């Protein structure tokens, strides 16, 4: 029987090379790790199965299958996995998990490792009530540095160093685990697929920028960067800004958003340690310590000068506007109370550089309306802080925080959001308890979202998280604000935290899936929406969104299967027909020669939208006009393009089509 939390995992009791699967230990982008037990030897092992999320599926409960389109890359990656495992069997170090064997089975491969009982460094850090001392960090990292020097001497790099890949055994010994992502430096040229596609293994916040660059020559300085990020996270309470975002901001904004560890550390640090950590996190490998030995020497040098700088709040950056969207403070009903599809009507689409799978598909991505959680936050506040005008037993005294909050709520409901923000600010000034502060912060964050002041909204939600760090809705709300501000990596970080706090929420997975679509990481989006479907199999929206992700990958068969299921669950949802028509047209266009059957199916979907007249848009006529034109029906094409222009006179696509057809 498989674990319902991991529907694609092997069933408990499945035998692999004499070991029976006991439970799932973890799931990553590259594979699934199990605990195995050998009833003869009475030994346990950690067993890592090659199972890349998004492109692998299970047949007959055990066999792994892949789509034909991914055959070349899968073969390359599986061979890389086998070769790495075989090489690692020769490793012997007290602070490196022992790799025992490689076993091919079930059309995939399995790495058998020593099972380490204990807790990860990330878990250890989160349990600390106070700031972690540098001496404590050094105690953990010294043995890890020994292990990495051993790894580098064997011409390997780890490529996946992070707090969740450093285990602290019950006896206190730190262990470097999860070598599934390593790479032999000398064989770097052989680790690229013939098709040019690659399984780049990167850990958000911890991987250096060159790690995802197929042309880069990786060396031990890649692990130095990751180790520096681990120390940064330990002493600051949070990891550094992701290297990919730093690189992009340098190009787009002309500034690196990285904050020196001196500004973020919660403890005084020796100047030598500050310099070493900051140098190790340089975007250019040449600027980092050249080796683990140089890195650890910098951390050991206490010197005489000590920096004790209070944490500095990052300067607010005005994000670029997001055209066509309602703000993330929009007051809409959350998915717990209504089907997510109901929040869809009238939301405009983000412009994307794909002509068909884009206009309607991305519009429906926004069906998971960004303000849902912020609105739900307001509904979940303690009763003492959410009294509405109709519920009041008596008028609150003027000049109190509660009175200011009530005034702000009234102004917000009247659409006077700027005035509401001012009233919430007044409430914060008067607030004498956390309940009032939370009510004011959540309310002001909602109105900041409506007015598209995303930096201010994020700042308020950050304070909410400080006051309520265990509420997943708070992280999901800030993740939504980051999404609207186009800060996708930060959005994913918050959405992942929400999932960690409540792994049974399909909605949180769907939020991260939406962000992955925005990042064009369609494989990750497919995986997230698959998890959402597992938790909420009767929600048509999740099938439609997974269908859109499949469509972006040109996996049209799977996309159409998902849209068919979405329409079966929600037959009156216009957007699903609109998006399925996009898939039919895209498949017809990709066939080289026009597929008349697919075009006629697209026309049938658009006919049903126009005939029903619900949520009808000018683009529906324009889309059908394009289909008519592809089918060679000039008269009907012209009629539809003219109708699109009549409904929306500024539609340039329709105007150009009429000129092209000589109408």
Residue 5: predicted pLDDT: 67
Once rounded to an integer, what is the mean pLDDT over residues 158-180?
86
Once rounded to an integer, what is the mean pLDDT over residues 238-248?
90
Q: What is the distance between the alpha carbons of residues 512 and 408, in angstroms, rounded to a whole number?
A: 31
Residue 252 vs residue 324, higher pLDDT? 252
Q: What is the distance between the alpha carbons of residues 165 and 156, in angstroms, rounded to a whole number?
A: 17
* 432: region left, alpha or beta (phi > 0 left; psi from -120 to 50 alpha): alpha
pLDDT band at 378 (very low <50, low <70, confident <90, very high): very low
Once rounded to an integer, what is the mean pLDDT over residues 262-287?
92
The token pair that represents 142 in the structure block: 């010294």
Helix (H) or strand (E) holding 135: helix 134-153
pTM here?
0.48
Residue 50 confidence (pLDDT) above 60: yes
Residue 67: predicted pLDDT: 74
Residue 29: predicted pLDDT: 64
Q: Which range (233-242, 255-264, 383-392) has the least confidence?
A: 383-392
Number of C-beta neighbours around residue 289 at 10 A: 24
Q: Domains in the chain, ordered, with CATH?
A: 15-114 (3.30.200.20), 118-193+201-307 (1.10.510.10), 320-332+369-486 (1.25.40.10)
Residue 452 vs residue 369, higher pLDDT? 452
Per-residue pLDDT tens for 297-320?
998 865 544 443 333 333 333 322
* 133: region left, alpha or beta (phi > 0 left; psi from -120 to 50 alpha): beta
Residue 372: predicted pLDDT: 36
Residue 312: predicted pLDDT: 33
Q: Which range (91-105, 201-215, 447-461, 471-485) has the least confidence?
A: 201-215
Long-range contacts of 309-315 (CB under 8 A, 24+ apart): 309/262, 309/263, 309/265, 311/236, 311/263, 311/264, 311/265, 311/266, 312/259, 312/263, 312/264, 313/459, 314/257, 314/259
Residue 218 confidence (pLDDT) above 90: no
């Amino acid at each position: 029987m498989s674990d319902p939390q991991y529907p694609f995992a092997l069933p408990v009791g499945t035998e692999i090379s004499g070991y029976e699967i006991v439970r799932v230990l973890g799931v990553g982008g590259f594979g699934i790790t199990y605990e195995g037990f050998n009833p003869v030897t009475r030994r346990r092992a950690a067993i890592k199965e090659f199972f890349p999320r998004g492109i692998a599926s299970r047949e007959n409960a055990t066999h792994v299958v892949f789509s034909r389109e991914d055959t070349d890359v899968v073969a390359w990656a599986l061979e890389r996995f086998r070769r790495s495992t075989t090489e690692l069997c020769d490793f012997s170090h007290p602070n490196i998990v022992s790799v025992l064997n490689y076993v091919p089975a079930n059309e995939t491969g399995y790495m058998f490792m020593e099972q380490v009982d204990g807790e990860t460094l990330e878990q250890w850090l989160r349990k600390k009530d106070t700031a972690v001392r540098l001496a404590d960090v050094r105690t953990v990292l010294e043995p890890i540095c020994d292990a990495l020097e051993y790894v580098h001497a064997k011409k390997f790099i780890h490529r996946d160093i992070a707090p969740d890949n450093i285990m602290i055994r019950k006896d206190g010994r730190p262990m470097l685990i999860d070598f599934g992502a390593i790479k032999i430096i000398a064989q770097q040229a052989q680790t690229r697929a013939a098709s040019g596609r690659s399984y780049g293994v990167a850990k958000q916040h911890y991987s250096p920028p060159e790690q995802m660059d197929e042309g880069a020559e990786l060396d031990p300085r890649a692990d130095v960067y990751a180790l520096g990020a681990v120390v940064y996270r330990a002493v600051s309470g949070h990891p550094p800004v992701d290297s990919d975002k730093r690189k992009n901001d340098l190009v787009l904004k002309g500034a690196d958003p990285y904050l020196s560890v001196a500004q973020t550390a919660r403890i005084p640090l020796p100047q030598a340690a500050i310099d070493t950590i900051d140098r190790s996190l340089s975007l250019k490998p040449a600027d980092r310590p050249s080796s683990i030995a140089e890195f650890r020497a910098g951390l050991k040098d206490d010197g005489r000068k000590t920096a004790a700088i209070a944490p500095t709040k990052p300067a607010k950056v005005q994000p670029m506007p997001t055209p066509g969207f309602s703000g993330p403070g929009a007051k809409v009903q959350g998915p717990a109370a209504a089907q997510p599809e109901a929040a869809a009507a009238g939301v405009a689409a983000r412009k994307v550089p794909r002509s068909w799978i884009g206009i309607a598909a991305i519009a429906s991505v926004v069906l998971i309306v960004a303000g849902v959680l912020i609105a739900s936050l307001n509904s979940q506040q303690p009763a003492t802080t959410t009294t509405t005008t109709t519920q009041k037993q008596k008028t609150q005294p003027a000049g109190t925080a509660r009175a200011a909050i009530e005034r702000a709520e009234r102004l917000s409901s009247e659409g006077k959001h700027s005035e509401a923000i001012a009233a919430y600010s007044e409430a914060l000034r008067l607030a004498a308890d956390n309940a009032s502060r939370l009510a004011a912060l959540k309310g002001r964050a909602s109105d900041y979202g409506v007015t598209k002041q995303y930096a201010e909204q994020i700042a308020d939600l950050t304070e909410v998280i400080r006051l309520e760090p265990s509420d997943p809705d708070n992280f999901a709300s800030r993740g939504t604000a980051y999404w609207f501000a186009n800060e996708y990596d930060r959005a994913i970080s918050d959405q992942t935290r929400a999932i960690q706090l409540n792994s049974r929420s399909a909605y949180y997975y769907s939020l991260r899936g939406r962000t992955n679509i925005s990042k064009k990481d369609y494989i990750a989006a497919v995986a997230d929406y698959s998890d959402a479907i597992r938790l909420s199999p009767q929600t048509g929206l999740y099938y439609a969104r997974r269908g859109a992700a499949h469509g972006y990958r040109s996996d049209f068969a799977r996309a159409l299967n998902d849209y068919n299921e979405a329409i079966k669950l929600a037959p009156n949802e216009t957007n699903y027909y609109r998006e399925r028509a996009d898939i039919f047209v895209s498949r017809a266009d990709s066939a080289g020669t026009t597929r008349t059957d697919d075009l006629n199916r697209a026309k049938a979907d658009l006919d049903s939208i126009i005939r029903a007249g619900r949520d009808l848009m000018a683009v529906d006529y324009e889309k059908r006009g394009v289909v008519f034109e592809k089918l060679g029906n000039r008269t009907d094409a012209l009629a539809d393009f003219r109708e699109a222009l009549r409904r929306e006179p500024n539609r340039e696509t329709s105007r150009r089509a009429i000129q092209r057809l000589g109408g």
